[in-house]
Structure 1
Amino acid sequence: MCGGRAPDDTITPLKDRRSFIISAYEDNRNKNIIRILGIVHHKEVKELYCYFCCHSNVEVHTTKAEIDLHQDRFGFPYGLADIICTEPPDCGATFVSVHSSPSEIVHNLTSFPIRNREPVQFTANFTICISTMHGNYSNVLQFIQTIEMYKILGAQKVMVYLNNCSRQMEEVLQYYTKEGTVEVIPWHIQRYLKMSNSWLYPNDDTEIGYYGQMSTLNDCIYRNMYSSKFVVLNDQDEIILPFKHRTWDNMMESLQRENPDVGIFLFENHIFPQTAVSDGNFTNTSSWNGVPGFNLLQFIHREPDRPDHFNARKMIVDPRAVVQTSVHSTLKQYRNSKYVPLETALVYHCRGPLQAKLSRAALIEDKTIWRYNDSLIQNVNQMLTKFTEEPSLNP
Structure 2
Amino acid sequence: MQQLKITAVLTIGMCLVYLLIYSTVSYTTLFRRPSILAAQISRHHNKTRGDIIVSVQKNKDSSVIQPGSKHSRQEANIINRNKTTPNKRNTERIKQMLKRVPYNAPEILIKSQERRFDASVGEDALGSTFPPRKPYKGDFQQVDVRIFIYSAIYQIANSSVRALILVPEPFKPVSFFCILKRSTSHLGHRIKGQFQHIPPSRWGVYKNRCGFVHCPVPPNSYPEFISVLTARMSSPLNVLAVNYPGPPYNRLTRCYPAVHGNFTDVNTLVTALETSRYFGTDKFLFYNYSIPEDINKVLLHYEREGIVEMRNWKLPFPPDQIHYWGQMASIHDCVFSQLGVAKYVLLADIDEIIVPKKNVSIADLADRLLNTRKPTSQQNVYGALMFQNAFFILYENETKYMFSEKKDAKKFKMNAFLHTNRSRLNPPNYRSKLLVKPEAVNLIHVHLMEEFLPGWEMYVVSPEVALMHHYREGKDNQSLNPWSQDFTFIKYSSSLIPKIKDRLISLQSELGIQI
TM-score by length of 1: 0.84
Aligned residue pairs total 371
Partner Cα separation in structure 1 for residue 494 and residue 337 of structure 2: 34
The residue that corresponds to 1:72 in the other structure is 200
1:168 lines up with 2:294 in the alignment? yes
The offset of 1:332, in angstroms, is 2.7
8 Å contact 1:137–1:164 — kept in the other structure?
no
* Residue pairs, 1:27-66, within 5 angstroms: 27-29=155-157, 31-41=158-168, 42-44=170-172, 46-53=174-181, 58-66=186-194
The structure-2 alpha-carbon separation of the partners of 1:286 and 1:370, relative to structure 1 and needing over 3 Å to count, comes to closer
1:338 and 2:456 aligned: no
> In structure 1, what is the Cα distance between the partners aligned to 2:479 and 2:234?
60
| Cα contact 2:143–2:238 (8 A) shared by 1 | no
Deviates more, 1:153-162 or 1:298-307: 298-307
Partner of 1:202: none
Range with greater deviation from structure 2 (372-381 or 170-179): 170-179
Q: In 2, distance between residues paired with 1:319 and 1:151? A: 20
Q: Is the alpha carbon distance of 1:89 and 1:97 closer, same or farther for their aligned partners in structure 2, counting shifts above 3 Å? A: same
Aligned residue among 252, 262, 267 for 1:141: 267
- Who is 1:387 aligned against? 507
Indicate how the Cα distance of structure 1 residues 88 and 261 shifts in structure 2: closer, same or farther if over 3 A, else same.
closer
Deviation at 1:159, TM superposition (A): 0.6
Normalized per residue, the structure richer in strand is 1
**Corresponding residue for 2:470?**
349
**8 A contact 1:11–1:20 mirrored in 2:** no
Structure 1 equivalent of residue 492 of structure 2: 372
Matches of residues 2-151 of structure 1 in structure 2 within 5 Å?
Answer: 10-14=138-142, 16-29=144-157, 31-41=158-168, 42-44=170-172, 46-53=174-181, 58-74=186-202, 75-87=205-217, 91-101=221-231, 104-105=234-235, 109-116=237-244, 120-121=246-247, 123-151=249-277
Q: Write the letter of the residue equivalent to 1:270.
A: A
Aligned twin of 1:199? none
Deviation (angstroms), 1:45: 5.2
Which sections of structure 1, spanning at least 5 residues, go unmatched?
197-206
CA RMSD in angstroms, aligned pairs only: 2.9
Q: What's the CA shift string for 1:293-315, capped at 9, x where partnerless?
A: 652110111111356x9621101
SS of equivalent to 1:151: helix
Given residue 325 of structure 1, which amino acid in structure 2 is its aligned partner? I
Residue 90 of structure 1 and its aligned partner are, at CA, apart by 6.1
Structure (1/2) with the larger helix percentage: 2
The question of whether the paired residues in 2 share the 8 Å contact of 1:55 and 1:92 is answered with no
Q: Secondary structure at 1:258's aligned position in 2?
A: coil
In 1, are the aligned partners of 2:181 and 2:223 still within 8 Å (CA)?
Answer: yes
Structure 1 Cα separation of the partners of residues 199 and 392 of structure 2: 31
Would the aligned equivalents of 2:443 and 2:450 in 1 still touch at CA under 8 Å? yes
Is this contact kept in 1: 2:281–2:363, CA < 8 A? no
TM-score (norm 2): 0.66
Of residues 310, 315, 319, the one that matches 1:184 is 310
Task: Determine helix, strand or coil for the equivalent of 2:151.
Answer: strand
Q: Residues 378, 306 of structure 1: CA spacing in aligned structure 2 closer, same or farther, 3 A cutoff?
A: closer
**How many Å separate the matches in 2 of 1:377 and 1:153?**
14
Counterpart-to-counterpart distance in 2, 1:315 and 1:356? 19
Report the AA paired with residue 76 of structure 1: Y
SS of 1:383 mapped into structure 2: helix
2:386 equivalent in structure 1 = 266
Contact 1:68 1:81 in 2 (8 A): yes
Counterpart code for 2:313: W
Of 382-391 and 40-49, more deviation after overlay is shown by 40-49
Deviations along 1:8-41, one digit per CA (max 9) or x if unpaired, are x944242533211111112242x32221111112
Report deviation, 1:364: 1.2
Does the aligned pair in 1 maintain the 2:426–2:480 contact within 8 Å? Answer: no
Cα 1:385–1:54 shift into 2, 3 Å: closer
Structure 2 unmatched runs, 5+: 1-49, 51-100, 105-136, 374-379
Instruction: Return the match for 1:236 from 350, 359, 367.
Output: 350
Preserved CA contact (<8 Å) 2:409 2:418: no
Equivalent position of 1:227 in the other structure: 341
The answer for the alignment partner of 2:282 in structure 1 is 156
Cα distance change, pair 235–389 in 1 and its aligned pair in 2 (3 A): same
Of the two structures, which has the highest relative contact order with CA contacts closer than 8 Å and spacing of 6 or more? 1
1:329 equivalenced with 2:448 (yes/no): yes
* Whole-angstrom distance in 2 between the partners of 1:55 and 1:69: 29
Alpha-carbon distance between aligned partners in 2 of 1:18 and 1:138, rounded to the nearest angstrom: 32
Report the 3-state secondary structure (helix = DSSP H, G, I; strand = E; otherwise coil) of the residue aligned with 2:287: strand
SS of the residue aligned with 1:363? strand
Stretch moving more, 87-96 or 326-335? 87-96
Which residue, 280, 299, 318 being the options, matches 1:194? 318
Contact 1:18–1:44, Cα closer than 8 Å, also in 2 = no
Please give the secondary structure, in 2, of the residue aligned with 1:303: strand
> How far off is 1:280 after superposition?
4.7
SS of match in other structure, 1:176: helix
Contact map agreement 2:201 2:445 (CA 8 A) in 1: no
Contact 1:125 1:228 in 2 (8 A): yes
AA aligned to 1:81 is: G
The alpha-carbon distance between structure 1 residues 356 and 16, as it changes in their structure 2 partners (threshold 3 A), is closer
Sort the Cα spacing of 1:15 and 1:298 in 2 relative to 1 into closer, same or farther, 3 A: same
Structure number with bigger Rg? 2
Q: Which amino acid aligns with 1:215?
A: A
Give, in angstroms, the shift of residue 105 of structure 1: 3.9
2:184–2:225 Cα contact (<8 Å) kept: no
Contact 1:50-1:64 within 8 A present in 2 as well:
yes
How far 1:284 moved relative to its partner? 5.7
The superposition leaves residues 44-77 of structure 1 with CA deviations (integer Å, 9 ceiling, x where unpaired) of 4512221122599655221222211112353433
- Report deviation, 1:88: 5.1
Equivalent-residue separation in structure 2 for 1:37 and 1:99 (angstroms): 13
Q: What is the Cα deviation at residue 288 of structure 1? A: 6.6
